[in-house]
Amino acid sequence: MNRVVITGMGVVSPVGLTIPEFWASLVEGKCGIAPIQSFDASGMKVKVAAEVKGFDPTVYGIDKSTARKLDLFTQYSIAAAAQAMAQSGLKAGENVNGERLGVYIGSGIGGMQTYVTETRKSIERGPEKVSPHFIPMMIANMASGQVAIAHGAEGPCLPVMTACATSTNAIGEAFHAIKAGYADAIIAGGSEAAICPLSIGGFTNCMALSTQEDPLLASLPFDRRRGGFVMGEGAGVLVLESETNAKARGAIILAEICGYGNTCDAYHVTAPSPEATASARAIKLALMEAGYQEGESLYINAHGTGTALNDVSETVAIKKALGEEAARRALVSSTKSMTGHMLGAAGAAECIAAVLALREGVIPPTIGLTEPDPDCDLDYVPLTARKARCDMALSISLGFGGHNGCVALRRVEA
């Protein structure tokens, strides 16, 4: 079995378009939530979102003509992957065999913007006016497909779709593929660009979104005032590589990925199980595979959506997985308090935050947490970042359909 390391990371997020910008914003407690700018939301119950700001696809080699044939979620994935591959220095045909280089980039929803545009066109002007690019722009596997084309990745290509657990599952499955020897390196993560009236209307009507109009009060994980999550968008991509391949080419190793848990609540299509048995088992599986030892210091980047049910059940899951005493020693935070919920991209962005927390010895905060819920009684690093040198980190994601994913990371000395 191969050891698996992370050698590159890239991000497009509501709080930064590069890894340095993203990390600086998280450490500073900068909130990326604001009134919606991409359309007129004045007549809607939900008026805020965590939108990506200032994104320019041409910076990443996507010319304007090509951009018109790519949904925004695919553009985000190409941009984040370009950053990650540049940091890694990995190149097919040079320091990795293209047949041993894979892409596991998923999306929870896929090309929602394209779907809305072309559906309207079909209704108003007839099906013959639908774009010939509609299907390849809309289908959710195109983030993986386009990134594979861009980087000559001819190995395994698997676009995971498990709602809000998508990119955590993508990273975990990529980890297992490399560990088992099916690939030498995999570009893994998730991408999402679904902030539009249709998707916001759907999430609002199933009582999932916060209707708070003050951006600083909209996403309040683990706070008793929380009233739902805030839609975000963007992409997070990591380059996973066998330690052997990384060391052979002299790559800088950012962290070791060493454990993964994947379970299902088998309980309800949207609500998490209040018993949190399956989500606790996902955490346990990741810790067991990682060789976690009692007493090791641990940071947990929680799913922490700010919904009434999630935050309590996730707290229960952490306690069941670690035991009460170890759970209370762990440092837990929700970066969704700043980024909003990036849906299929959330797990990857949060895994990146966990890697940076291990490397920098700083735990990003849960901003806005001024009135803790008595049922959420762990150390959620409220309001401001905290210096702490942790041995391991977990990134937890929970998705509609009962999907539970957890990735375990170990700090690597620089």
Q: How remote is the C-alpha of 190 from its chain's centroid?
A: 6
Task: List, in order, residues 6 or more apart from 231 with CB less than 8 Å away.
Answer: 46, 49, 50, 194, 195, 199, 200, 203, 209, 340, 341, 343
Active-site hit among 31, 196, 258, 303 = 303
Q: Which two tokens stand for residue 135?
A: 């299907």
Helix locations, 49-94, DSSP H:
64-67, 72-88
Active-site residue, selected from the candidate residues 31, 157, 164, 390 = 164
Q: Is the dihedral of CA 58, 61, 63, 68 positive or negative?
A: negative
Pairing of strands 4-12, 255-264: antiparallel
CA distance 150 to 40: 35
Calculate the CA dihedral of residues 266, 408, 141, 341 and round it to 10 degrees.
80
Q: What single DSSP character describes residue 128?
A: G
- Residue 303 falls in the annotated catalytic set: yes
The DSSP bridge pattern shows strands 34-35 and 255-264 to be: unpaired
Mode of pairing for the β-strands spanning 298-301 and 392-399: parallel
Per the annotation, the verdict on 164 as an active-site residue is yes
Known catalytic residue: 264? no
| Catalytic position from the list 31, 157, 258, 341 | 341
The distance from CA 63 to its chain's CA centroid, rounded to whole angstroms, is 26
Give the residue among 10, 111, 20, 25 at the shortest CA–CA distance from 385: 25
Contacts of 343 (CB under 8 A, 6+ apart): 108, 109, 163, 164, 166, 192, 194, 231, 232, 233
**Count helices and strands in the chain by DSSP H and E runs:** 15, 13
299 CB-contact burial (10 Å; exposed 0-12 / middle 13-18 / buried 19+) = buried
Assess contact for 34 and 51: CB atoms under 8 A. Answer: yes
Q: Is 123 helix (H, G, I), strand (E, B) or coil?
A: helix
Cα 412 to Cα 10, 358, 401: the distances in Å are: 19, 8, 35
Tokens 């790559």 belong to which residue? 251
Active site residues: 164, 303, 341
